[in-house]
């Protein structure tokens, strides 16, 4: 029977495309509204549903409306063969506007061309740079007309493309661009949770009846009832079963004569219900079996090519589009020849044809395709060659490994890991199998997907008797787990194999202990510290212990992170020379910066972080261990804008790969920054979100930072009781710190809230315990002593406070931390004023106000100004600080623009679109009282002329 082939997902083509909004009027209206909403909220709009629910037709209906209203639609339809080709989906989507890539800034242009395999580069492009390149490109194109980006069959889209699109979609709030992801139910849960979603369920009975009425031969009677029953509201099933009923009047479920493996379910032509996908595959298999052999072979070839629109290379291999061989297939609705294009009737028919064909026929088609792509497309050559190979093959394994290397070079880490695993499956050598699986495990770590890493690590361990390979596989799992919330599990995953290999493989053990030390910092668990120290001693005493360059360095680093107060003085003395020597090695610089910060060498830590982050080439989308400490170092050093940027960068990377603990670290630190700046509501939102992501027992670091943020937010609003309760959370019942490093900086804040809220005695006991800890504080003693002295001054009776204030102010280590220094000056100035020592009070208060103002600490600035007025200051009102009224993001944009950077250059550094940068500057100009860009430099110079703070 002739008729137009049915659309895969809606099966309403026989009724005409315009019928779809009538069948799903509510969903159509919801989608039209959601397209506009997604643009303002950010995040992709996801359309999900079972195969045959009508997803594609819904999207096409809305796309036609969008285009009719003057918009432009860019589409990509993914296929199974492209799942492991990194950025293939993105390349297809952007192909119509590829000519605009040349207009991108040079770094972005190179990154995008490298990702698309159109240029060679010595290193894999930074994933976030690829994202910003796509964002800039879309922003440029959208200047001409609004854009709608549609990615259909996204469950087959490669991970690299999806990550890039997710990155872009969350930054489109200022752009006339909407991203739509079309996928099967539950196929992309993490991506789908980031934006609005529309789910297409079964058609309601009235719509199902209407769809049957619109078919060329509408079924009636018992046949109609059975179709409605078995289709279960699935649009494609309704149309296809109606077609089958017309072709086979006795039953709408024709038996498949093509030889197949017996199916364990109910026979096909009974009244028993079958899953829609199974039933439809049987229908298509029956149609395939009824075709002439030459037509069937051509169809199998087309289905094996696995693409909606075959390339010219594939078309040259297939019978010509006008060849009569296609006519029987077109008659059966299995192929479409319209507009000079040849394709399977719909993806479901392609899948059914492929799986219904004999295995050897499929393999022959794959082998022919492999030969077709040999020398033209090495990735597709390897893919089809592997599909055509049934046994082990060193050659196939090598080709797949080459594909993996190319994928990794382009930044497609998920694809590379999968191809390495497939290569391992084909390799006949056990040693090479283990090597490939270990490489796949290590590559999968860069995707941030813990389930994949665990599975591959298990396969690696099962493939070998080599204990080193086993421990390294466990290390990969543990390394990724440190960035999740499963810290106890991660610690065991790292230390158990390390204990087994302490005598024989010290290098592997030290790598494991370095990751375990990260867990120790996050959890602050004393038992973990003891276990790390025990294993370090075992490694040092091992007969096979060797002192290469890395082993002593890692040993010192593990000890610093695990118990910084026990660090030998010479370790800190060696840091400056080590940092200078590591200037070309950003990974080592990061480790040295972390060690410097933990040893209270904040100036040195910031210097190392600056050097590391300037030269760092990201090797994957994975946060680097304790790299989030950079934000805390910048905060303590007084570079709050840089700290805010570090938080934003960590949050962006963590959200890309779904690592909750890394996101919680960023949120808690950002919450503290917001509280210090006076944004109490924002601080509470960030801190509470961070706490919701973690178990406080397994992540005392986030717990301490978040409660300090909440306490500071309450203190800025004058709620000293609530502030004290939060600060008290940083110390346990007896008064010991909950976190060995992050609790102590809050000691003066706890004392201040206690003095104002009536908790003097309890706070004094906590300060006493902190003072007793000074004997064993080692290199941390100077700063801790200053914090103790300031806390004692705040809690002391009026006549006993001055000596504590002066001792705190005379400590050089406190003077190098602007906020803590200003805290001390403010408290001392208040005390002096109350003692009527006005001249001395004004000096201290004026210095405190200046520091607070430069930091952007509004609560401190306001409090210092109030005290100055009370001390008889001539200034009636503080000098307006329009810059401080800008958001942290606007401040950073203004600073970069003041340095002469263009909007595109600022956008690249801030991971924003140029239009968003322009929008922020447009809003900032009136607040700053300027009208032209050239005045920005004057604003920044006037603000920082007397300060090195930024």
- Residue 274: is its pLDDT beyond 70? no
Between 616 and 607, where is the model more confident? 607
The predicted structure's pLDDT at residue 686: 95
Average pLDDT over residues 700-706: 96
Q: Spell 785-824 as b/e; 16+ CB within 10 A means b.
A: bbbbbbbbbbbbeeeebbebbebbbebebbebbbbbbbbb
- Residue 617: is its pLDDT beyond 50? no
Quick check: 203 and 233 in contact, CB under 8 A? yes
Domains plus CATH for the chain? 25-202 (3.40.50.300), 265-357 (no CATH), 396-622 (1.25.40.10), 623-717 (1.25.40), 885-944 (1.10.10.10)
Q: How many CB atoms lie within 10 A of CB 377?
A: 16
Between 635 and 446, where is the model more confident? 635
State how far the Cα of 128 lies from the Cα of 621, in Å rounded to an integer: 8
Q: What confidence tier does 948 reach under pLDDT thresholds 50, 70, 90?
A: very low
Q: Which of 421-430, 866-875, 932-941 has the highest mean pLDDT?
A: 421-430
Percent of the chain with pLDDT over 90: 35
The predicted structure's pLDDT at residue 269: 36
**Cβ partners under 8 Å of residue 252, min gap 6:** 219, 223, 226, 227, 230, 241, 242, 244, 245
Question: Partners of 179 in the beta sheet?
Answer: 149
Q: What confidence tier does 72 reach under pLDDT thresholds 50, 70, 90?
A: very high
Average pLDDT over residues 484-512: 81
- Residue 887: is its pLDDT beyond 80? no
Average pLDDT over residues 741-765: 95
State how far the Cα of 499 lies from the Cα of 535, in Å rounded to an integer: 6
Q: Write the DSSP assignment of 82-147 as a string of letters.
A: GTTSTTHHHHHHHGGGGGGGGGS-HHHHHHHHHHTTSS--SSPPPHHHHHHHHHHHHHHHTTTS-E
The predicted structure's pLDDT at residue 544: 57
Percent of the chain with pLDDT over 70: 86
* pLDDT tens figures, 318-355: 899 889 999 998 888 788 887 777 877 666 677 778 87
- 374 to 256, 405, 426, 553: CA distances (angstroms): 37, 18, 19, 48
- Token output for 268: 């096909």
The predicted structure's pLDDT at residue 285: 75
Question: Partners of 45 in the beta sheet?
Answer: 180
The predicted structure's pLDDT at residue 656: 65
The predicted structure's pLDDT at residue 440: 92
Average pLDDT over residues 750-758: 93
- Residue 778: is its pLDDT beyond 90? yes
Q: Report how far Cα 280 is from the mean position of its chain's Cα atoms.
A: 38
State how far the Cα of 928 lies from the Cα of 881, in Å rounded to an integer: 9
State how far the Cα of 571 lies from the Cα of 565, in Å rounded to an integer: 12
Q: Spell 293-321 as b/e; 16+ CB within 10 A means b.
A: eebbbbbbbbbbbbbbebeeebbebbbee
Quick check: 644 and 825 in contact, CB under 8 A? no
State how far the Cα of 752 lies from the Cα of 675, in Å rounded to an integer: 16
- Token output for 198: 């529309």
- Residue 179: is its pLDDT beyond 50? yes
- By mean pLDDT, which of 125-129, 291-295, 454-458, 537-541 is the weakest? 125-129
- By mean pLDDT, which of 223-227, 298-302, 788-792 is the weakest? 223-227
- Residue 256: is its pLDDT beyond 90? no
- Token output for 541: 């005493």
Average pLDDT over residues 427-450: 87
- Residue 9: is its pLDDT beyond 50? no
* pLDDT tens figures, 526-561: 999 999 999 998 887 766 555 567 788 889 999 999
Average pLDDT over residues 703-730: 96
Question: Partners of 197 in the beta sheet?
Answer: 46
The predicted structure's pLDDT at residue 879: 52
Q: Tokens 């986030």, residue?
A: 702
The predicted structure's pLDDT at residue 542: 66
The predicted structure's pLDDT at residue 22: 63
Q: What confidence tier does 624 reach under pLDDT thresholds 50, 70, 90?
A: low
- Token output for 286: 């029956």
pTM: 0.71
Hey, what long-range contacts does 859-865 have (CB within 8 A, 24 or more apart)? 859/676, 859/678, 859/715, 859/716, 860/676, 860/819, 860/822, 860/823, 860/826, 863/826, 864/822, 864/826, 864/829
Between 520 and 40, where is the model more confident? 520
* pLDDT tens figures, 364-396: 999 999 998 888 889 889 989 999 998 899 999
The predicted structure's pLDDT at residue 251: 45
The predicted structure's pLDDT at residue 192: 44
3-state secondary structure of 49: strand
Average pLDDT over residues 877-897: 73
Question: Partners of 676 in the beta sheet?
Answer: none
Q: What confidence tier does 233 reach under pLDDT thresholds 50, 70, 90?
A: confident
- Residue 621: is its pLDDT beyond 60? no
Please state, rounded to an integer, the average pLDDT across all residues of the chain: 83
Q: How many CB atoms lie within 10 A of CB 155?
A: 17
- Residue 250: is its pLDDT beyond 80? no
How far the first Cα of the chain sits from its last, in Å, is 75
- The Cβ-side half-sphere exposure at 561, using a 13 Å CA radius, reads 29
Average pLDDT over residues 633-655: 86
* pLDDT tens figures, 276-318: 556 666 777 777 888 899 998 998 888 888 666 567 788 888 8
Q: Report how far Cα 102 is from the mean position of its chain's Cα atoms.
A: 28
Average pLDDT over residues 220-228: 79
3-state secondary structure of 258: coil
Question: Longest Cα pair distance anywhere in the chain, in angstroms?
Answer: 106
Quick check: 672 and 709 in contact, CB under 8 A? yes
- Residue 738: is its pLDDT beyond 90? yes
**Cβ partners under 8 Å of residue 432, min gap 6:** 397, 424
**Cβ partners under 8 Å of residue 454, min gap 6:** 477
Hey, what long-range contacts does 438-443 have (CB within 8 A, 24 or more apart)? 438/469, 438/472, 438/473, 439/404, 440/404, 440/416, 441/417, 441/473, 441/476, 441/477, 442/476, 443/404, 443/408, 443/413, 443/416, 443/417
Among 218, 210, 152, CA closest to 179: 152
- Residue 116: is its pLDDT beyond 50? yes
- Token output for 38: 């997604």
SS (H, E, C) 775-807: HHCHHHHHHHHHHHHHHHHHHCCHHHCHHHHHH
State how far the Cα of 599 lies from the Cα of 608, in Å rounded to an integer: 14
The predicted structure's pLDDT at residue 454: 84
The predicted structure's pLDDT at residue 523: 92
State how far the Cα of 389 lies from the Cα of 362, in Å rounded to an integer: 11
Average pLDDT over residues 474-482: 76
Between 119 and 943, where is the model more confident? 119
């Amino acid at each position: 029977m002739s008729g137009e082939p049915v659309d895969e997902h809606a099966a309403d083509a026989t009724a005409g495309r315009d019928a779809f909004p009538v069948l799903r009027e509510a969903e159509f209206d919801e989608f039209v509204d959601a397209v506009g909403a997604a643009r303002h909220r950010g995040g992709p709009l996801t359309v999900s549903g079972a195969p045959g629910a009508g997803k594609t037709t819904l999207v096409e209906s809305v796309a036609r409306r969008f285009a009719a209203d003057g918009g432009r639609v860019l589409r990509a339809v993914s296929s199974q063969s492209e799942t492991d080709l990194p950025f293939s989906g993105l390349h297809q989507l952007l192909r119509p506007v590829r000519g605009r890539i040349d207009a991108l800034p040079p770094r972005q242009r190179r990154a995008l061309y490298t990702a698309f395999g159109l240029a060679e580069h010595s290193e894999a492009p930074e994933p976030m740079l690829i994202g910003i390149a796509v964002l800039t490109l879309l922003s440029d194109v959208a200047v001409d007309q609004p854009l709608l980006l549609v990615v259909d069959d996204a469950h087959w889209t490669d991970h690299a493309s999806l990550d890039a699109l997710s990155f872009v979609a969350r930054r489109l709030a200022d752009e006339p661009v909407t991203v739509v992801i079309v996928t099967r139910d539950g196929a992309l849960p993490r991506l789908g949770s980031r934006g609005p979603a529309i789910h297409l369920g079964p058609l309601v009975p009235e719509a199902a009846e209407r769809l049957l009425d619109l078919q060329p031969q509408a079924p009636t009677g018992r046949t109609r009832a059975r179709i409605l029953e078995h289709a279960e509201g699935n649009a494609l099933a309704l149309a296809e079963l109606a077609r089958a009923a017309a072709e086979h009047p006795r039953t709408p479920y024709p038996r498949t004569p093509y030889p197949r493996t017996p199916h364990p379910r109910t026979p096909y032509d009974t009244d028993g219900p079958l899953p829609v996908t199974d039933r439809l595959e049987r229908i298509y298999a029956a149609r395939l079996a009824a075709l002439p052999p030459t037509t069937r072979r051509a169809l199998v070839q087309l289905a094996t090519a696995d693409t909606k629109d075959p390339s010219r290379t594939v078309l040259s291999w297939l019978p010509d589009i006008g060849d009569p061989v296609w006519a029987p297939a077109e008659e059966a609705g299995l192929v479409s020849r319209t507009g000079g294009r040849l394709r399977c009737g719909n993806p479901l028919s392609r899948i059914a044809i492929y799986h219904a064909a004999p295995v050897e026929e499929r393999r022959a088609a794959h082998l022919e395709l492999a030969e077709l792509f040999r020398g033209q497309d090495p990735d597709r050559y390897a893919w089809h060659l592997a599909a055509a190979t049934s046994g082990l093959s060193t050659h196939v394994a090598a080709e797949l490994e080459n594909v993996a290397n190319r994928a990794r070079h382009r930044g497609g880490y998920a694809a590379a890991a999968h191809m390495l695993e497939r290569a391992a499956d084909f390799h006949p050598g056990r040693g090479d199998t283990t090597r490939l699986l270990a490489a796949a495990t290590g590559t999968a770590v860069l995707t941030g997907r813990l389930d994949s890493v665990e599975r591959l690590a298990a396969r690696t361990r099962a493939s070998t008797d080599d204990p080193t390979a086993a421990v390294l596989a466990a290390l990969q799992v543990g390394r990724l787990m440190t960035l999740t919330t499963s810290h106890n599990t991660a610690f065991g995953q790292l230390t158990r194999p390390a204990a087994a290999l302490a005598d024989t493989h010290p290098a592997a053990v030290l790598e494991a202990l370095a990751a375990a030390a990260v867990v120790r910092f996050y959890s602050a668990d004393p038992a973990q510290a003891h276990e790390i120290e025990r294993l370090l001693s075992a490694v040092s005493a091992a007969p096979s212990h060797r002192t290469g360059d890395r082993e002593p360095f890692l040993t010192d680093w593990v000890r610093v992170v695990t118990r910084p107060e026990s660090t030998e003085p010479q370790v800190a003395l060696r840091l400056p020379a080590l940092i200078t020597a590591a200037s070309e090695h950003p990974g080592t610089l990061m480790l040295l910066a972390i060690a410097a910060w933990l040893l209270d060498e904040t100036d040195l830590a910031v210097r190392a972080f600056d050097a590391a982050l300037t030269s760092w080439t990201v090797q994957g989308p994975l946060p680097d261990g304790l790299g989030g400490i950079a934000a805390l170092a910048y905060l303590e050093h007084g570079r709050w804008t840089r700290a805010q940027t570090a938080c934003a960068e960590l949050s962006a990377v963590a959200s890309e790969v779904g690592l909750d603990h890394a996101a919680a670290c960023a949120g808690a630190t950002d919450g503290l920054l917001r509280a210090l700046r006076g944004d109490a509501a924002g601080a509470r939102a960030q801190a509470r979100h961070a706490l919701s992501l973690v178990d406080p027992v397994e992540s005392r670091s986030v717990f301490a930072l978040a409660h300090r943020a909440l306490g500071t937010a309450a203190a800025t609003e004058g709620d000293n009781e609530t502030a004290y309760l939060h600060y008290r959370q940083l110390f346990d019942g007896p008064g010991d710190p909950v976190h060995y490093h992050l609790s102590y900086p809050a000691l003066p804040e706890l004392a201040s809230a206690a003095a104002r809220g009536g908790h003097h005695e309890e706070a004094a006991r906590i300060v006493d315990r902190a003072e007793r800890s000074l004997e064993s504080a080692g290199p941390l003693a100077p700063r801790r002593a200053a914090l103790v002295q300031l806390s004692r001054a705040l809690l002391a009776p009026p006549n006993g406070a001055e000596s504590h204030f002066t001792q705190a102010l005379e400590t050089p280590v406190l003077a190098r931390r602007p906020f803590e220094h200003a805290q001390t000056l403010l408290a001392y100035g208040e005390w002096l004023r109350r003692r009527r020592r006005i001249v001395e009070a004004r000096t201290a208060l004026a210095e405190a106000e200046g520091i607070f103002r430069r930091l952007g600490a509004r609560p401190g600035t306001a409090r210092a100004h109030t005290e100055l007025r009370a001390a008889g200051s001539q200034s009636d009102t503080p000098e307006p600080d329009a810059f401080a009224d800008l958001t942290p993001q606007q401040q950073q944009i203004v600073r970069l623009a003041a340095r002469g950077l263009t909007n595109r250059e600022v956008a690249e550094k801030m991971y924003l679109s140029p239009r968003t940068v322009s929008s922020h500057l447009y809003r900032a100009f009136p607040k700053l009282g300027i009208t032209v860009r050239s005045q920005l430099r004057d604003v920044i110079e006037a603000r920082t002329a007397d300060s090195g703070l930024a």
